[in-house]
Amino acid sequence: MLNKIKQDLQKLQNEEKAKILSRFFKTGKGQYGEGDVFLGITVPDQRKVAKKYTNINLQYLPNLLSNKIHENRLIALLILVEKFNTANEQNKKDIVNFYLKNTKYINNWDLVDLSADKILGAYLLEKDKSILYKLSKSNNLWERRIAIISTFYFIRNNKFEDTLKIAEILLNDKHDLIQKAVGWMLRELGKRNQNIEEEFLKKHYKKMPRTMLRYAIERFDENKKEFYLKK
């Protein structure tokens, strides 16, 4: 089955798109995606492939998830999401444990953003969330992003406390991919309750990185944007 998945992906590869994606995901020397290899396949096309293989056993997915080809890692995560959505409680726990065991391979922002809230966030909604706080203090960039993006599921369920607490932990993070992620989650929170977002901003906006702040206030009217950007 693994070979079939890889063959399906190979059939969809596009060299021109691969070049564009390699630049977009910063695969050059010293960049955050250094060494990542792309086939040039769109996410909708990968979702179609993933849906064909949702019955694959978890034991086969490390082969895909540890692969140097970006789309192989992404297809493994998309399959995990599909499996999680139809799993019973024990199988969901197994999927979450697998996910946490393999975070070193969830190593680009799209891999995080297409999986973290849908697996980890969904599982932890009514459970102990201490693992997110541990991840938020990790030296690994992608684990920190997993921590904040996982809370997107909570936000969609109108639970904001953990987003705000993890945003505080990451407030002085130096990496722009964390700054963007935190700002994005604050913006999403603000769509549901702008007053709560502004309470957080008024407490922290003067020391927030500019990138984080700009993402957080993107939907504000011009007067409010000007107020926060004057800091």
Report domain extents, the chain: 1-94
The rounded Cα 182 to chain-centroid distance in angstroms is 11
Residue 198 clears pLDDT 70, i.e. is over it: yes
Phi, psi of 153 (to 5 degrees): -65, -40
Q: Give 231's pLDDT tier (boundaries 50, 70, 90).
A: low
Q: What's the average model confidence in pLDDT over 99-104?
A: 97
Euclidean distance between the first and final Cα of the chain, in Å?
56
Residue 178 clears pLDDT 80, i.e. is over it: yes
- What is the overall mean pLDDT for the chain? 95
Residue 166 clears pLDDT 90, i.e. is over it: yes
Q: What's the average model confidence in pLDDT over 147-168?
A: 98
CA distance linking residue 174 with residue 165, whole number of Å: 18
What's the pTM? 0.95
Assigned fold of 1-94: Leucine-rich Repeat Variant (1.25.10)
Is the alpha carbon torsion for 62, 67, 70, 71 positive or negative? negative
Q: Give 230's pLDDT tier (boundaries 50, 70, 90).
A: confident
- Residue pLDDT, tens place only, 59-78: 999 999 999 999 999 999 99
Phi-psi region of 158 (alpha: psi -120 to 50; beta: other; left: phi over 0): left
In SS3 terms, 118-186 reads as HHHHHHHCCCCCHHHHHHHCCCCHHHHHHHHHHCHHHHHCCCCHHHHHHHHHCCCCCCHHHHHHHHHHH
Phi, psi of 37 (to 5 degrees): -115, 130
- Supply the pLDDT for residue 2: 84
- Supply the pLDDT for residue 171: 97
- Residue pLDDT, tens place only, 78-100: 999 999 999 999 999 999 999 99
Q: With contact defined as beta carbons under 8 Å apart, do 84 and 92 qualify?
A: yes
